[in-house]
Amino acid sequence: MAEKKKRVFNRQKTKTAMPEQKPEDRIRNFLEVPLGYTDEMAISEAQRCLGCKTRPCVTGCPVDVKIPEMLELIADGDLPGAYSKVKETNFLPAICGRVCPQEDQCEKHCILGKKGESVGIGRLERYIADWDLNAATEEVSSTSAPSTGKKVAIVGSGPAGLTAASDLVQMGHEVHVFEALHKPGGVLFYGIPEFRLPKKILVREIEGLAKVGVKFHMNYVVGATETLTELRDRFDSIFIGVGAGLPWFLGIPGENLNGVYSSNEYLTRLNLMGAFNFPEYDTPVKPGQRIVVVGAGNTAMDSARISQRLNPEQVTLVYRRSRAEMPARVEEIHHAEEEGIQFKLLHTPIEIVGNDKGNVTGVVLQKMELGEPDASGRRRPLPVEGSEFTLECDSVVVALGCSPNPLMTKVEPDLEVSRRETIVVNEVTMETSIPGVFAGGDIVTGGATVILAMGAGRLAAKGMHHFMMTGSSPEAEV
């Protein structure tokens, strides 16, 4: 056995706190809220890891990041080593460290969590990725394989598409990414706000891909500008990562009043179009002084928190279940509360009311109580009769979730889709009903997470490589 350095352990029971902008300051800017660990904080946090042989944390990670090894390398101060360790399995660590729901993944399984707080794995992942970002290591990708002469098309430039693009270009294929919007990144660009994921980080990853030869075609709607069938003639294999972009509405009266936004529209106006900077940026947004956000997922938290930065009188978040059921990352819920967002839990909107100009003036809410658990295991919210009242407001942002956009699939009869409009794939190879066409990310799972989309992109890249090199569909055990 090789000689092992003696490890230093830190017995602290709680996570090393991460410095943050104070709530009263951050609601007046769009800068990132958590500021990241210093070297010292990172090292002492990494020294909390026990280096468990059974590696429970890894079982919680959808892409099997080698967490104990990464932590040990950080604890030893080998930052380049730690960075390449993460990069082995996670293509976008700077992004995942910021947006993954770690409390449901790696950190949930961490041994230390049984008697205190888990290791701050997400924070350390972010730290190590930021270290690389700041060190600006010009990582010349000499690792990429010789050209195979094969061409692949990636439809959609969200995390699924970018990951597949990255893997495929490394394998020596010619990669073309087609994106409907004018900026690449998918939800990472138009959905998740700057204060949670600085665009700089995303842009850097995308520029990195462009540097190693990935071609980006913006303003290209597959299904409209060119159909999938036509793409199949031009490319040897195709990956579909178009996300779940069709917003759900409440289906209650008054939903077409002015001032009712889907969270997609609201966040797109602000993040993608820069509406918070009107009139420097031309796109307007009109949330008014009193904003109601409906929902409790990440999208709802982002909508509420971005609203709080527009200098409103009040931002209220309405959710029909209780706090325990809120699906957003714990950190975002905490941040939202700190920033002064009012939570109206166990309430549901039943009507949106407006004035003679067709503008929102309020939302009628009904109280809910929790009944028996439903199929999802969560207690079903039941309306309390006669508890209706009107909450005055100027805008309502509906953040209930999204389903896949049928724009592309509906013109491809050969592509099998489920009743929920998701694309049906072989779950092991990610191949669709059309040989050589693969899919992954939210288009397959419905709205999920960045890391799952990345994992799917990676899996599909493997299958596509197999398909192109052998001419046959990958077997289930690839």
Partner 1 sequence: MIENPRQAFSCSLPRIDLDEDLVATQNTRKVHPPLFIRFQLRYTALVKDTIRHAQISIYEPIQLLPGRSSLGFKILKKQVLAPNTVLFDVEAPQIAAKAKAGQFIILRVCDNGERIPLTIAQTRPADNVVTIVVQELGKTTFDLCRLNEGEEILDFVGPLGKPTEISNVGTVVCVGGGVGNAVVWAMVQGFKAAGNKLISIIGAREKELLILEDEIGAISDELIVTTDDGSYGRKGLVTEALKEVLDREDEKVSEVVTIGPVIMMKFVAKTTEPYGVPTQASLNPIMVDGTGMCGACRVTVGGKIKFACVDGPEFDAHKVDFDELMSRLVFYKDMETESYERARNEKCRLMQQAEEVE
Ligand X SMILES: Cc1cc2nc3c(=O)[nH]c(=O)nc-3n(C[C@H](O)[C@H](O)[C@H](O)COP(=O)(O)OP(=O)(O)OC[C@H]3O[C@@H](n4cnc5c(N)ncnc54)[C@H](O)[C@@H]3O)c2cc1C
Binding residues among 426-465 for partner 1 as defined by CB under 8 A: none
Determine which residue in the list 16, 316, 348, 449 makes contact with ligand X, applying CB under 6 A.
449
Which of ligand SF4, ligand X, partner 1, none does residue 311 bind to, with CB < 5 to 8 Å depending on kind? partner 1
Residue 436 near residue 424 (C-beta atoms within 8 A): no
Determine which residue in the list 9, 24, 29, 51 makes contact with ligand SF4, applying CB under 6 A.
51
Determine which residue in the list 33, 49, 79, 437 makes contact with ligand SF4, applying CB under 6 A.
49
Residues between 240 and 279 with contacts to partner 1, criterion CB under 8 A:
245-247, 249, 255-256, 258-259, 261-262, 264-265, 268-269, 273-274, 276-279
Q: Does 203 engage in binding with ligand X (CB under 6 A)?
A: no
- 166 vs 449 by CB, closer to ligand X: 449
- 300 vs 365 by CB, closer to ligand X: 300
Residue 245 near residue 174 (C-beta atoms within 8 A): no
d(CA 390, CA 378): 27
Per-residue x/- marks for partner 1, 125-144, CB under 8 A?
A: -----x---x----------
Q: Does 56 engage in binding with ligand SF4 (CB under 6 A)?
A: yes
Q: What angle do CA 326, 186, 25 make, to 5 degrees?
A: 60
Residues between 64 and 93 with contacts to ligand SF4, criterion CB under 6 A:
67-68, 71
- 60 vs 295 by CB, closer to ligand SF4: 60
- 323 vs 410 by CB, closer to partner 1: 410
Q: Does 385 engage in binding with partner 1 (CB under 8 A)?
A: no
Please choose, out of 30-38, 332-340, 429-437, 468-476, the segment that lies near partner 1 by the rule CB under 8 A: 30-38
- 282 vs 392 by CB, closer to partner 1: 282
Q: Does 122 engage in binding with ligand SF4 (CB under 6 A)?
A: no
| Residues making up the chain, counted from first to last | 478
Cα atoms in the Cβ-side hemisphere of radius 13 Å centred on 207: 9
Which of ligand X, ligand SF4, partner 1, none does residue 334 bind to, with CB < 5 to 8 Å depending on kind? none
Which of ligand SF4, partner 1, ligand X, none does residue 57 bind to, with CB < 5 to 8 Å depending on kind? ligand SF4
- Give the strand pairing for 215-217 and 174-178: parallel
d(CA 367, CA 129): 45
- Least Å from the CB of residue 203 to partner 1: 6
Q: Does 108 engage in binding with partner 1 (CB under 8 A)?
A: no
Residue numbers of the site for ligand SF4 (CB under 6 A)?
A: 49-52, 55-57, 67-68, 71, 110-112, 118-119, 121
